[in-house]
Structure formats: C-alpha cells, structure tokens
Structure 1
C-alpha cells in the first residue's frame, strides 16, 4: 500500500498522531472535521490493518543523565555471517545504552544508536561491548550533535 492508496482522512490521522500520539479522539475528530465516532472507527481500521502499530513516548535522554548520543557503525567479520548477525543483533539490542539498532546492507552491517552520560561511556560501550566481540571486524563512531525525527517507523518483521 502506498500513501496514494490511503483515504485522505486516514493519511491525516497518521500525520496528526505522528506529531502527537497522545491526541484525544475528540481532538482528532475536531482536527479532521468529522464526528468522534468516525475518527474512532478510522483509527481502529488503521490499527487493525497494521498501518499504526503502536503509540510511543519520546524520552528526553539528557534528563535521564544520558545527554550524549552516538551512532556506531559496526562491520562484522566474514564467515558464519548468518549466526554472527543473529547473535550480534540479539545481544546488542538488549543493552540498556542502545536506543535503536539498524541492520543494514552496505559498508556497515549495523548502526547502533546509543545514549550515555559522557564520552568515556561511549568509549567503554564501543570497547567493551562491540570491539571485544570476536565477530566484530571494525567500528566507526559518530557523535550526534542534534537529533530530529519526522516519524517513528515500526519494527521490521
């Protein structure tokens, strides 16, 4: 399904909830210019069809003492790649410093988005949890100065 296949009300619901997932059904209906029951039915349809898969909170990491974010590109060693990929993803995604994990095609196998308290914590994460793994061939770390999100994508299956 493409965006062109969406009913205009459904497209607007996705736009509004992407900006404010806590919007009440009454506010949603008002913004759409429709009855509350119509807004509710359309939202339920979007959820039932899997177009909206959840509602999420945006957490201010700096207020949690994790004011430094970084993206670490990870390349795995050749050989036994299927097992290495699965094991790496399974273990790294559970680490408390990891905000997002991306499995890629290209120069890097993974991008690991972390939030930590300072540059020493970035170094510890890379050295202790990435470079120390036998399956990891190399890493490249980039510090994030600013972050802007236009939308939140659902996990791939």
Structure 2
C-alpha cells in the first residue's frame, strides 16, 4: 500500500468535515447555508475531499438485534507466527467471516481484535472454532462480551 502525504485542509474543509461528522446526511444545500458559501463551492470542496481520500465513504448503522444477532463480542487473537503472508491471509479471512463488524490489526500482546455480532453464545463459540482457531498461526483467543456500546464524538476536526 502506497502512503501519500495527507492534503492540507483549510478552515472551510475542516468545517465541512466537522458538520458531516456530526450529521453525514446533511445535503449540499444545508452544508452551504451553514458554512455561508455557494452550493457549487461546497460541492467542489466535498468532491475534492473524496478524491484526496479524506472522506472515504458513508456509514450505515444497523441494530444487529433486528438481524437476529443480538450478542456482540470482542475476540482478541494472538498469533504464534508473524510472517507477512500468514498475517495477511488471516486478516483477509477474518474480515470476510460472517458476523465480523470490524477487524483491527493491533500492536501489543494481541495481534487482532474482532468485533462480532452473533445470535447467541453457541454461535459465538462456533464462530471462534470455525473461523478463528482453524488457522494454524492462531495461538490463543480471548472473548469479551459487549454489554453496551456507544459511539464517541470522534476527533474534533474544526481546528488544526
């Protein structure tokens, strides 16, 4: 993966990001009114932020209980071997496993943290057995149930 220098953001870019961070459904018209700029300028700025990779997508939040997956957990995964090929293959497999909401490749004692949603405790056990510990590089797992979670406010983007 080639890394590029992030674009320099001015005050208008930061204000756009701040407004969209708090309400991603704001229309271009509503944004332009709040920012006090022309709609065309606002549209150009948003397009430029997308093309630069600063805005990478839109997010839909789903209540997993409505999908029959009310139990959420974080599964910590530790590896016994860390060769690049094995780590990449495992990461690919984990991110495509059914029920994975997010997969984090992390530093520290653990190598991966998986946020999963499943139907019940039995499904959670089966997930670990059929999608995690089947990989030869996995040495250990630890599962933590999530009782409740809330989204944070995120980074404050209006200031440099």
Summarize deviations over 1:93-151 as a string: whole Å, max 9, x none.
11121111111121011111111111221111112221233221000111112222235
* Higher relative contact order, chain-length normalized (CA < 8 Å, sep 6+): 2
Q: Normalising by structure 1, what TM-score?
A: 0.85
> Which residue in 1 is equivalent to 2:15?
12
> Which residue in 1 is equivalent to 2:120?
118
C-alpha deviation, 1:36, in angstroms: 1.3
C-alpha deviation, 1:23, in angstroms: 1.4
Runs of 4 or more consecutive aligned structure 1 residues displaced over 3 Å after TM superposition: none
Aligned partners of 1:70 and 1:113 also within 8 Å:
yes
C-alpha deviation, 1:2, in angstroms: 7.8
Which of 128, 134, 138 is the equivalent residue of 1:132? 134
> Which residue in 2 is equivalent to 1:94?
96
Q: Which runs of 5+ in 1 are unaligned?
A: 153-157
Aligned partners of 1:76 and 1:84 also within 8 Å:
no
C-alpha root-mean-square deviation of aligned residues, in Å? Answer: 2.1
Q: Normalising by structure 2, what TM-score?
A: 0.83
